[in-house]
Structure 1
Amino acid sequence: MKRTCGRGGATTLFLGVLLLGALVGAAPAQAQSTAAADLPQDPALRSGTLDNGLRYAVIRSAAPKGSVSIRFAVDVGSYEEAESERGLAHFVEHMAFRATTHFEEGRLEHDLAELGVAAGRDHNAFTQMFSTFYQLDLPDGDAARLGLAFRWLRDVADGVVFAPEAVERERGVVLAEKEARNSNDQVAEDAITRFQGPELRSTARAPIGLEAVLRRASAEDLRRFHDRWYRPEHAVVAMAGDLPVEVMEGWIKGAFETWKTAGPLPARASRAAPDPRRGVDALTLPDAGLSDRLDVCRLRPGGPVGALSLADRRAADLQDLWVTILNARLAARADHDPTLLDGQASIYGAARDAAATCLEIAPKGQAWAGALAAAEAEFRRLRQDGPTETELEAALEVRRATLRGGISVVSTETANDLADEILQTLLTRAVFVEPRQLLRAYGVEMENVTPEDVRLAAVRDWAGSGPLIDAQGEAPPARAALIDAWRQAEAAPALAAFQDPPTPTWAYEDFGRGRVGSAARRARISCA
C-alpha cells in the first residue's frame, strides 16, 4: 500500500525500462505550500536529521515477530556519472560486498549466514539511476545481529576497501551481469529510450554502464567515485522492526553520528528536458523474439521531487481518473474490435528530466494500423467529450476502495515492506502518511470534481514532444508506414460521444407465490 505523498516513486521512466530508481531524485526538497501541510506525517514514524546531514526514519512493526529491516541509501546513482564513469556507481556497490574495513574478503557473507541472514534473500543491494541502496532483513533484532549489520553499513559509508586485486576479481562478476542483461527485450527497451529522449541524460545512464568503462576502471577510479558521492548529506537510513523506536534510533545514531567528510558538496549533473519542437516520429524494431506491441508517447519536462501541494495532488488524482476511465474503455473495445488485442494508457513520471504519457497497444495479428487507429480514436473521444458521470463515479470508487484497503492492512504490514517504503519517502523527500489521512485527503482533493475536470486533465497530460511511436515484433510496419497510420488516425472522423452501457437488470423480479424463507430452509436440510 503506497503511503507516501510526493513526486517520484519506485517505478520506471519510459515504457517499462528497468531503471528501478528513475523516478527518485536527489534535488533539494521543493518548497512546500501551506496546502501541503494538511497531510501530516504518520505519528508512528519517528524521523530526524543527524548533525552531519544524514536523514533517518524508524517505525515499529511486529510482523514478522522479532524481525528488523534496515535500509541504507545514498541519493546518488548512475545519473551522476561522467561519460568516463558510466557503470562505476554499480561497480562500487559490488565492492561493498567484497571487502570493507571490518570484514575482510569473504567474511561478511560467512558471518551473516551464521546469524541466519541469507545473501540475496535477506541481504542485497541495488544501484538505480538516482540512488544506490543496501538492505538487510534480520530474523531477530538482538544485539549480535544489529551490531554486525550496522558495522557493515557504516563500512559501506566510509570503509569500502578498493584493493586492486579485489577489483579485478569483481570486474568479471560485473561484466557477466552486463552480459546477462542483454536480452532481446532489454536491447529493444534501450533502443526505445534513446529514440524517445536522445537529448536526455537519463536515456544514456542505465546503471549497468558501458563495457569499455567497466573493463578499464581502476581501484582508484572507484575510490574517487565513492569518496565524492558517499557523504552523510547524501545518505538516508530507514528502519522498521519489532523494537521500540527509541532503540532503533539509538542504533542509527551510534553507527553514523561520527561519519564525517571534508570539502564542499560535489555539483550535481544538469537536467535537460525533452525537445518541445519535436513532432510525430517513429521507430520500428523487427525481431522474431519480441512480442507484437505498439507504443505512442508524448514527453514533457519532469517535476522536482518533494512533498506535493493540494493542487499537485489534485492534478495527480485527476490523472489517475482519466487513465482508469480510458483503460476501461479500451478493455471493453478490445472485446469486440477485430484489430485490437489489448490497449492501455500509462503515465511515466515525473523523473528529473522527463515525464511521459503513453498509449500501449497490442494488435490482433498484423492489424497494426487498425489497432493504432482504435486506441487513438478512444483517447481522442475522451479528450473531446470527457467521461460520463457514471464512469467518473466508478473510477472514484476504484481509488476509494484502494485507500480503504490500505487502512485494513496497516496492522499486517511487514517490517521489510515498511522499510522499503520509508526509504523511498526519504529519498523523494515526500510525506509518509497514515492511510486514514490519505482517504480523508482524497475526499478533499476530489470534492466537487466534474467530468470536465477529468477531460481537461487528459488534454493537459497529452502534451509535449511527439507523438513518438515505436513498434516491435516479428514484422512491424516501417517507420514511414507508422507515421502515416498515425496521421490517418488523427484525421479520421471523431467517434460519437461515449454512451454508458445499459445497466444490467436482475432477471428474477417475480418469484411467484410462496414462502421463500421456508424453501431456503428445506434446501439446507436436503443438502445436509
Structure 2
Amino acid sequence: LKQAEAIAAWQRLGATFGSDANAETSPTHTAYKLDIPNINQAKLSESFKLLSGMIREPVLNDANVAAERPIVLAEKRERGGAGLRIADLTRQTFFAGQRLAARNPIGTDETLRAANGKDVKAFYDRWYRPENAVIVVVGDADPMVLAGLVEQWFGDWEGKGKPGVAPDFGDPVAPAAAPENPVEGTPIGELAVGVEPDLPRSLTYAIMRPWRQVEDTIVYNEGLLIDAVAQSIINRRLEARARGGGSFLYAQVQQDDVSRSTDATFVTFAPLTSDWQAALADVRSVIADALTNPPTQEEIDREAAEFDVVFANQVEQESVQSGSDLANNLVNAVDIRETVAAPDVVLNVFRGMTARLNPDEVLARTKALFDGTVTRSVYVTPTPGEADADMLRLALAREAVVDGSARLAAQTISFDELPPVGEPGIITEQKPLGLLDVEQIDFANGVKALVWANDAEPGRVTVRVRFGAGYRAFDKDSAVYAALGEAALVGSGLGELGQNEIDRLATGRKLGFDFGIDEAVFTFTAQTRSEDVVDQLYLFAAKLGMPRWDKDPVIRAKAAAELAY
C-alpha cells in the first residue's frame, strides 16, 4: 500500500476506522484490532494480506513520521487537563521507583518532536517481532482455514536485527523508616494530594505487592475466585454503610495486576464533605472488621450465589458472545501471562470448589489481599489547603476501630413472602402486531403488553415498562428535582422493602432495575433471564403499585450531585 491508502483499503472491505479497525498501545503491548463485517473467503484473505504487510513491512521514514507527529501531539493535547494531571500524579505516586512511574505510552512533547524515521524504525525492529507477536482470529470460519492463513501470511516472518531485552518493571518498595499502616500492617510509603477545582473529592490508597508470573492452574483460579468473593463481601458492607448515612458517597475494594508492575489491592472512596479523615476512618473500620473477624457462612453463600448466576448466564449466552469480545479476552490473557477459560469451564471450577468457600478460608484470603510491601495513597480535592501528604500519612497511621455494624443481618427474603400487587389482570384482546412475531396483549385496566419470544439471544430477556409523561410531568417549580428523583427512585425501595432488602431478595437471580426519564415517558428497564422474568415483572409492578419513599437515597443523590458540580 502507498501512503494514505490503508484507510481506503479497509473501507473497501467494510471496516470503519475507530469502530471496526483500531490500535492501542499500553505499557506492555500494542494490539492491532480489525473487525470485518459480512466476511467471506475473499475478504478474509485480503484482510490477512493487508494486515501482514502493515505489521511485517511498515513504511517508517521521516515523511511518514512527520505526517503522524501532529496527529499524536493533538491526541496528547486532547487528553490534557485536570483528569490527565491527576492520572499522572496517581501513576507517579503509586509506582514510585518503578519504570511505570515515568513512562507514559504516548510519550512526551520532547520525544515526539525529536522522533525521526530512522529511530522509529530501529525501535520497531527491536520490539515488533515474530517472537513477541500473538495472532488471534475469531469468527465464522473453518479453524483449519484460519490456521492456514496465519501460516501463509506470517509463517515466514523473521525479525530484523538484534531483539530488545524485556525490561525489568521493578517492584514496589517502601521508603526507609516508613511508618506502619496499623490496619493492613504495611509500611506507609509515597503519598500525594492533588488539588483540582473541577474534580470531586476522591481518595485511593493501595496495598502494593510485587507482581510475579503465576502458574495458571485450577487451584490458582480457585484462589482468585475466593478473593473475588471476599472483595464482594467487603464491598457490600461498604455499600450498606454508604446507604445508611455513612460519611462517604461510595467505596470499593478491588485487587488488580497492573502492567506487570504490581499486584495491588486498591481502596477507593468519595468523601461526602471536606472531612475526609472521618470518611477514611469509616472505610477502614469496615475493612478492619473484615481482617479481624471471619464472615458468616450466609454472607459467603449470598455472594457465591451471585457469582453462580453470572457464570451460568455466561454459559447460556456463549453462543452469541461477540467475536471481538473473545479476541479481547485472549489478548488480555496473553498480556498478563495467564490463560482464558470457556464459560462452562469457569462455572464447573466454581461449582467444584464449594467446600473452600467457608469462613476460615475467606478470612485467610482477605488477610492476604491486604498484606503487602508498602501502602501508597492519593487524595484529590477541589479545595486548596484541605490536606497535604503529612496529614494523609497521619490519618493512615491511626488505629482503626473494628466496626461490624455494616455486616448484613442474617435474614433471607423470598418472593413467596411478599404480598400480591393486586388482582390478576383480565385480558381483553390478544393479537399479532404484524411485525416479526411480536404479539400485543391488551388488559382491561388499559395496560398494553408487547411480547416477542425468540431464541436469538439465549439466556437474556429484556423487560421495559413505559409509563407516565416523563419530563412533561414536571412544572417549572418541580423540574429542578427531576435529576434527584431519577437517581433516588429505585434506591427508595418498594412496599416494606428498602434497597438492602431488595438486594437480598435478588440473591441467586439475574434481576435489574434501571429508571430513566425521557421527554414524554418514564421507563423501567432490566436485563434478566427466562427463569427470573416473573420475579422481574413483580419488582416493576410492585414499585408502581406499592411505592416506597425513603429520604436516605435522596440525600445521597443530592450529595452526589453536589460533589460532581
Q: TM-score, normalised to structure 2's length?
A: 0.69
Q: Deviations over 1:297-349 (max 9, x none)?
A: 111101216x5123322221121111100000000001123422111111121
Corresponding position of 1:8: none
Does 2:167 match 1:288? no
> Which range moves more in the overlay, 348-357 or 286-295?
348-357
CA distance in 1, matches of 2:53, 2:217: 38
Alignment check: 8 A CA contact 1:343 1:361 kept: yes
Corresponding position of 2:390: 480
> Which range moves more in the overlay, 331-340 or 142-151?
142-151
CA gap 1:350/1:386 in 2 versus in 1, 3 angstroms = farther
Count of residue pairs the alignment pairs up: 417
Q: Deviations over 1:204-233 (max 9, x none)?
A: 222111211111111000010111112111
Of 226, 229, 249, the match for 1:318: 226
Corresponding position of 2:520: none
> Which range moves more in the overlay, 268-277 or 238-247?
268-277
Residue 109 of structure 1, CA deviation: 1.1
- Give the match's secondary structure for 2:18: coil
Of 407, 419, 433, the match for 2:327: 419
- State the AA in 2 paired with 1:444: G
Corresponding position of 2:213: 304
CA gap 1:477/1:460 in 2 versus in 1, 3 angstroms = same
- State the AA in 1 paired with 2:122: R
Residue 131 of structure 1, CA deviation: 0.8
Of 257, 268, 280, the match for 1:372: 280
Corresponding position of 1:355: 263
- Give the match's secondary structure for 1:380: helix
Q: Deviations over 1:377-412 (max 9, x none)?
A: 000001000211111111111211111011011111
Q: Deviations over 1:449-480 (max 9, x none)?
A: 31121111111111224332221021242222
CA gap 1:364/1:520 in 2 versus in 1, 3 angstroms = closer
Alignment check: 8 A CA contact 2:61 2:116 kept: no
Q: Deviations over 1:3-38 (max 9, x none)?
A: xxxxxxxxxxxxxxxxxxxxxxxxxxxxxxxxxxxx
Runs (5+) with no aligned partner, structure 1 = 1-102
CA distance in 2, matches of 1:316, 1:466: 22
Alignment check: 8 A CA contact 2:60 2:120 kept: yes
Residue 427 of structure 1, CA deviation: 4.1
Corresponding position of 1:162: 60
Runs (5+) with no aligned partner, structure 2 = 179-186, 429-442, 446-565
Corresponding position of 1:74: none
Of 228, 242, 245, the match for 1:337: 245
- Give the match's secondary structure for 1:241: coil
- Give the match's secondary structure for 1:430: coil
CA gap 1:420/1:403 in 2 versus in 1, 3 angstroms = same
Corresponding position of 1:404: 312
> Which range moves more in the overlay, 386-395 or 151-160?
151-160
CA gap 1:137/1:376 in 2 versus in 1, 3 angstroms = same
- Give the match's secondary structure for 1:467: strand
Residue 487 of structure 1, CA deviation: 2.8
Alignment check: 8 A CA contact 2:27 2:259 kept: no
Alignment check: 8 A CA contact 1:310 1:445 kept: no
CA distance in 2, matches of 1:507, 1:450: 27
Does 2:168 match 1:260? no
Corresponding position of 1:464: 372
- State the AA in 2 paired with 1:501: A
Question: For residues 447-458 of structure 1, what are the structure 2 equivalents within 5 Å?
Answer: 447-458=355-366
CA gap 1:371/1:407 in 2 versus in 1, 3 angstroms = same
Q: Deviations over 1:275-304 (max 9, x none)?
A: 145532531111111111011211110121
* Alpha-carbon RMSD: 2.6
Residue 264 of structure 1, CA deviation: 5.4
CA distance in 1, matches of 2:49, 2:92: 41
- State the AA in 1 paired with 2:29: S
CA gap 1:209/1:446 in 2 versus in 1, 3 angstroms = farther
Higher-RCO chain (CA-CA 8 Å, sequence separation at least 6): 1
CA distance in 2, matches of 1:108, 1:510: 62
Alignment check: 8 A CA contact 2:125 2:163 kept: no
CA gap 1:336/1:268 in 2 versus in 1, 3 angstroms = same
Corresponding position of 2:149: 251
Corresponding position of 1:191: 89
- State the AA in 2 paired with 1:333: R
- State the AA in 1 paired with 2:394: D
> Which range moves more in the overlay, 273-282 or 369-378?
273-282
Corresponding position of 2:342: 434
Which consecutive segments of 4 or more residues in structure 1 shift more than 3 A?
Answer: 262-265, 425-432, 496-500, 504-511, 519-528
